[in-house]
Amino acid sequence: MSNATQSALRGSPREPGNQRAAFGGIEKSAVRTTADRPDFTAIQQSAEFRDLRRRLKWFVFPATAFFLIWYLGYVVAAAYFPEELAKPVVGDVNVGLLLGIGQFVTTVGLTTLYVRFARRHIDPRVDEIREQAGESDR
């Protein structure tokens, strides 16, 4: 951004009799000069980025497919086999209740697996790509 543009965004220089009101006493502009932005197109076309995307897809698609099949299987079982899900296991606890609780357990488990996977495999590669692009940690 040019200095002229920054000056225009900040406003004209203050004259003694023409004070602008400032919220909370803040009189600085939010406009900041920045270094050149990384070349996102080049990053996207790099072998490292494509490998990162492939590795992420390797986890996300099977995990999503597994969970959707598990969830829809539970819904279908509840709709078409209610007598099977109503069978008691222990006291008032039946098969349907255990499968329903299993949905929550599966959600927490998949989330935990994804966080661990991302921390070990995705985040380090993202940091490498950012370093190569010259983008510092914010």
* Nearest C-alpha neighbor of 65 from the set 121, 110, 113: 110
Question: CA-to-CA distance for 90 and 92, rounded, in angstroms?
Answer: 6
Domain boundaries, given as residue ranges, for the chain: 60-130
* The pLDDT of residue 25 is above 80: no
* The pLDDT of residue 31 is above 80: no
* The pLDDT of residue 89 is above 70: yes
Pick the range with the lowest mean pLDDT from 2-16, 54-68, 116-130. Answer: 2-16
* The pLDDT of residue 61 is above 80: yes
Question: CA-to-CA distance for 68 and 17, rounded, in angstroms?
Answer: 67
pLDDT band at 7 (very low <50, low <70, confident <90, very high): very low
Q: What pLDDT is recorded for position 37? A: 74
Q: What pLDDT is recorded for position 88? A: 94
pLDDT band at 39 (very low <50, low <70, confident <90, very high): confident
